[in-house]
Structure 1
């Protein structure tokens, strides 16, 4: 089978979505940049299948210029294939993507606001704050455009009334970043219960962002 190792990686991390409660039940999706039959594209989890039932042949390959309705796979790709594709098109450094409906990130996203730099770990997403993409119906081109906008100069964002998405140079990195975003959102909700948290200055965040470059390499 083509890309067997990558397909198994996707299944492994899909199971972790459930076991870590990053995305319960069938919610969320995972993809990896890939090439098949000299076509550049990505492998993505199928639509509607429980993660514990996934087999390598269930993972769907899609070309970067392909629409879901033209895909000849036995399984349908995740309904969110569009923003996965567009991230790979617009973010050349994206090799893996994790989309999760993680509890705290989803709760924060329901307010439709960016997370300010109440903690320096915000910098792990690549900017001085974590943007929240404007709401649009799942699976739509509008949602994909909103996500790409929120990911400007960043490798993760929230999705209003939906969840979060993160990408990295491999699945381990993308998954870890998604976990970091969930943890930051959890901390933020606790901080808000105590009142308005102190916000770090733009000058301080610029220092942190510079240091974070080395942190990500580690």
Structure 2
């Protein structure tokens, strides 16, 4: 299990997450990036994976701290997608971790420039009745960052056209859960599309699911 981002050293949790993503085949080589929110001295910021870093050999000391004020602390350059991560944190004060992957099925759907609709109730794991597809923008660009931030105003995940998937969570564990689930849903949706256009759940049905999700999870018996 990936440690929560609130642990004493969140960098170790990020490294564990990167290795799990690689083991699951959701990222390969140096693709993708992971961050956790980490204010320092009253300045907002995050720990993020360095650019060009692969899971193999990545250590906690390789992570880079980037502040909202532009400060950078670390021996490597931060991920080229750092602006996107910071934009998500700025848009959503409740999110404390961001995961970006080039997972095969999510990326395939994103290359069709199609959102993931409410064909299955678990789409609600992303916070609504779909996972939107953000229009294509150059990776690392301000345009991409702002487009993702706009999508995250109402969701916990978004597909990036011709690029991949980005997901957020109140903890790193939740962000990972959303990432893995959305990739699995994209795989199922693409399989359904091979046969025909799937029927969709309506707004009322998805609203009921979202309401049920607010109290769903592992809880103690009364």
Structure 2-normalised TM-score?
0.91
Distance 1:184 1:163, change over 3 A: same
Q: Which has the higher helix share?
A: 1
**C-alpha displacement of 1:170:** 1.2
**C-alpha displacement of 1:55:** 1.9
Alignment match of 1:43 (pick from 47, 58, 65) = 47
Distance 1:29 1:216, change over 3 A: farther
Q: Do residues 130 (structure 1) and 123 (structure 2) align?
A: no
Q: Out of 180-189 and 141-150, give the one that drifted further.
A: 141-150
Alignment match of 2:11 (pick from 7, 12, 36) = 7
2:67 equivalent in structure 1: 63
Q: Deviation per CA, 1:35-74, whole angstroms, max 9, x where unpaired? A: 23443210000001222111222100011221xxx63532
Gaps of 5+ in 1: none
Gaps of 5+ in 2: 1-6
**C-alpha displacement of 1:216:** 5.7
1:105 equivalent in structure 2: 106
Provide the rounded CA distance (Å) in 2 between the counterparts of 1:203 and 1:35.
Answer: 39
1:24 equivalent in structure 2: 28
Structure 1-normalised TM-score?
0.93
**C-alpha displacement of 1:25:** 1.6
CA RMSD between the two structures: 1.6
Q: Secondary structure at the match of 1:36?
A: coil
Moved over 3 A (4+): none
- The count of corresponding residues between Structure 1 and Structure 2 is 213
Distance 1:217 1:148, change over 3 A: farther
1:80 equivalent in structure 2: 81
**C-alpha displacement of 1:154:** 0.7
